[in-house]
């Protein structure tokens, strides 16, 4: 996107609209050739699917993932091609899937021939009626990250964006920091999402609150040497990763959703830092369901006994499950 970026806008928590500058391109292919190629491709495509694949194969084991002008992707829940009409398959296969041993192979292949581009045993798609068992898959509930931390002073942090439609090519960036056990929320406005800006916000957080552990995932700005050095210097245990295989920070994601819901669809108010801080204050002073609505995040943050009792209760809820699993 170098030198082509114009504007961007966040339309949901993990979805953005990005506008790029239009580029010019030239094509010397006559329009008639393009139409001829497209029409022939469409005919050959549909003819092969309905007159070869459908009558020859058991389609209960097959799902079409996507198709394009010159490609077709199938999910097949079978150890091989689920052939139901072997005679017709043998008759038509050699005509459509040309063999490299054919003396006219390369000439025929140019004229809309079929070829298997790639195969994989790990293609993930909408499940067909038959699902082969995978004994390596574990129940998701056992892999979920718990909603609490066994240590006092543990935090989750994440960046949040909001587009202010009144200002073209500008958006408000926040750093959301939530104390995992007390659910106490602190929000910092940032000029940009650089490591330097994040470090400045974390310096204020460490100065004013008890911080011994920080965990975050998904954002490249968190995974640099600046923030890692910052945590090491202050003896803060950190878990920074952008791996797609890790479960996202559930506590901070939950509170981000709560604050967004509080603003509704008004992105301009969400981008107003004064209103944001007022909303955070309201959230911190409201009794939280984690404490059966007996205590607010503010009360839990001001009293370590409440946080300690919460940790013990969560540990007691997990230990029996682990023992049963053994």
pLDDT tens sequence across 57-107: 888 888 888 777 777 888 888 777 888 998 988 888 777 766 555 566 555
- Mean model confidence pLDDT for the chain: 76
| pTM, to two decimals | 0.52
Is residue 231 within 8 A of residue 237, CB to CB? The reply is: yes
What average pLDDT does the segment 4-21 reach? 78
By percentage, how much of the chain surpasses pLDDT 90? 14
- 35 pLDDT exceeds 70? yes
Is residue 159 within 8 A of residue 148, CB to CB? The reply is: no
pLDDT of residue 297: 92
Top-ranked range on mean pLDDT: pick from 50-64, 108-122, 151-165, 312-326 = 50-64
What average pLDDT does the segment 150-157 reach? 86
Strand, helix or coil for residue 8: strand
pLDDT digits (tens, 9 = 90+) for 106-130: 555 555 556 665 666 555 444 444 4
CA geometry: angle 172, 176, 255, nearest 5 deg? 110
Count Cβ atoms within 10 A of the Cβ of residue 202 and give its class: 0-12 exposed, 13-18 middle, 19 or more buried. Answer: buried
CB atoms within 10 A of CB 5: 12
- Nearest CA to 10 out of 190, 170, 176, 161 is that of 161
φ/ψ region of 311 (left if φ > 0, alpha if ψ in -120 to 50, else beta) reads alpha
What average pLDDT does the segment 147-172 reach? 72
What average pLDDT does the segment 126-155 reach? 55
Report domain extents, the chain.
30-137, 154-325
pLDDT of residue 189: 92
- 165 pLDDT exceeds 60? no
Strands 154-163 and 171-179: antiparallel
Burial annotation 42-70 (CB, 10 A radius, 16+ → b, else e): eebbeebeeebbeebbeeebbbeeeeeee
- 323 pLDDT exceeds 90? no
- 142 pLDDT exceeds 60? no
What is the pLDDT confidence band of residue 318, given thresholds at 50, 70 and 90? low
pLDDT of residue 138: 44
- Nearest CA to 250 out of 144, 322, 159, 174 is that of 144
Q: Which CATH superfamily is domain 154-325 in?
A: Ribonuclease H-like superfamily/Ribonuclease H (3.30.420.10)
CB atoms within 10 A of CB 287: 14
- 184 pLDDT exceeds 80? yes
Is residue 52 within 8 A of residue 96, CB to CB? The reply is: yes
Calpha distance 279→290 (Å, rounded) = 19
Calpha distance 326→313 (Å, rounded) = 21
CA atoms within 13 A on the CB side of 9: 10
């Amino acid at each position: 996107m170098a030198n082509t970026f114009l504007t961007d806008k966040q339309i949901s928590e993990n979805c953005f609209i990005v506008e790029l500058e239009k580029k010019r391109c030239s094509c010397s292919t006559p329009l008639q050739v393009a139409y001829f190629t497209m029409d022939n491709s469409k005919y050959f495509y549909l003819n092969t699917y309905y007159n070869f694949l459908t009558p020859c194969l058991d389609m209960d084991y097959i799902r079409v993932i996507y198709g394009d002008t010159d490609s077709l992707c199938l999910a097949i829940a079978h150890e091989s091609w689920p052939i139901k009409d072997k005679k017709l398959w043998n008759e038509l296969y050699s005509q459509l899937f040309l063999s490299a041993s054919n003396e006219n192979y390369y000439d025929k292949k140019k004229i809309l021939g079929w070829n298997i581009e790639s195969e994989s045993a790990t293609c993930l798609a909408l499940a067909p009626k038959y699902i082969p068992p995978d004994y390596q898959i574990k129940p998701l509930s056992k892999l979920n990250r718990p909603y609490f931390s066994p240590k006092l002073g543990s935090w989750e942090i994440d960046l949040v964006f909001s587009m202010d439609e009144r200002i073209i090519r500008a958006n408000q960036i926040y750093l959301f920091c939530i104390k995992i056990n007390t659910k106490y929320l602190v929000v910092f406005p940032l000029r940009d999402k650089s490591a330097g800006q994040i470090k400045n916000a974390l310096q204020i957080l460490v100065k004013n609150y008890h911080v011994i552990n920080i965990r975050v995932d998904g954002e490249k700005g968190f995974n640099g040497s600046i923030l890692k050095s910052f945590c090491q210097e202050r003896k803060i245990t950190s878990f920074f990763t952008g791996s797609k295989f890790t479960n996202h920070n559930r506590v901070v994601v939950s509170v981000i959703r709560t604050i967004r819901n509080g603003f509704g669809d008004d992105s301009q108010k969400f981008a107003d830092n004064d209103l944001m801080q007022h909303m955070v204050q309201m959230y911190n002073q409201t009794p939280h369901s984690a404490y059966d609505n007996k205590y607010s995040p503010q009360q839990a943050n001001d009293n370590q006994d409440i946080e300690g009792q919460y940790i013990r209760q969560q540990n007691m809820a997990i230990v029996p499950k682990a023992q049963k699993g053994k």
